[in-house]
Structure formats: C-alpha cells, structure tokens
Structure 1
C-alpha cells in the first residue's frame, strides 16, 4: 500500500470517523445496559471492550470506505484524537475516576487495532477485494 503519507491525511475524515466511533461505542454500551448485559454499578470489562472495538472498527471502516487514501494512518489518527480528547478531559475536568495505566494503555491499543483494521477493511471493500 503506497498511500500511507501524511499528505493523504484528511483532518475532517478523522474527526468524522472519531465522532462515528464514539457514537457507535456509546450506542452499543447503552444498548447492552438496556438489555441487562451490563449491571449499572459493575465494571463490565468485557462489554466495554466489545463496545469500544466495534465502535472504533465502524468509525475506521467509514473513513476507509469514504476516503480510501491512507486508511491505516487515518485509523491511527482517530485513536490519537481519542487520546487527545481524553487528555483534555483530564486536564480541564479533574482527575476523578482515573483508571490504572495498564487499563488505559489497553484501551488505547484496542482502539488503535480496531480503527486501523476498520480502515483497512473499508479500503478493501471500496476497492473490491
């Protein structure tokens, strides 16, 4: 794949893909809570992980299908935007409910893998194979 250059990175698609990823993740988590898959006071690691993976896969796939130049770079940029938003929330929102570093790094890695895989799959779907 010869398209992975910074000149092929489109900031609008990164923000759009991130918004879709967050929306799908939220919908899946809330749907799981509504179906009783998540207890309101529990730390449902499995359902949170599935929701994040599916949401960021869909966000990356949308970007890969609509803007098929540099799909893996767009997936990495979607994850970077997520980290940037998390960092800003920590700075301006206060440190309430901070997770351990291993959990945060695991979630970041999950987002990175899911969004890059979604971008790559979206490009393959667009190019027909």
Structure 2
C-alpha cells in the first residue's frame, strides 16, 4: 500500500507543485508571503523527486538496488525536505498571524528581506540536518 500511495503522491504532486512554483515565480508579486510559499514549493518538489526511488525500494521488499551513496542522498533529501516543508509551513503561519493580529507591527516585521533571511535559515537548517544522514551508512 505504501508504494502505491507514494506513486500516486508523485504523479499528482509533481505537476501540481511545478505549476504552483511557476505561478509563484512568474505571475505573482514578490510579497513576503510569496517568498515563503516559493520556498515551501521548492521543498515539496525536492521531496517529491525522491518518491520514485523510495517506491522502487518498497516494491522490491525494502531492498535497495541502487548505488549505496545514492541511498544516503535519497534519505537526506527525503527527511531534510520533509523537515524543511514543516518549518516553511510554520513560518507561513507566523507570517499570517503577524499580518492579521498585529497589522501595524507587521509593516516592520513582514519585509522581503526578512522573508529571504528566514528562508535562508530554513535551507541552512535543512542542510545541517542532512549532513548526519549523508555521512552515515
């Protein structure tokens, strides 16, 4: 059941997130929330790119048949971007909270610069979380 759900997630999620990223990059104004959504969509796309390999792994009875270092890369991308998506969602929630509950304070907190800084910190955290997965067998 897990491989079939992974395959379905990949088949629906890849085109949907690709379209969302295209729209966010080329058809919307670059607001603070848009920058955070671009990062969330990028995390989700990277997460989806490892689904076919995880699906093949599960279809083969949890037997990895690819190159061993590639297994580490797939696991690092899988977990790193899963955590990245969660943190991006949390930042979007905080951004929405500040915009709605503290509209006057939001003018100083909600800026493109702050959104880029927060996004950069998310990617640094994702990379740092992936390092142990990349170096362990």
Question: TM-score higher than 0.5 here?
Answer: no
- Structure showing greater Rg: 2
Determine which structure has the larger helix proportion and give its number.
Answer: 2
Q: Which TM-score band (shorter chain)? A: 0.3 to 0.5
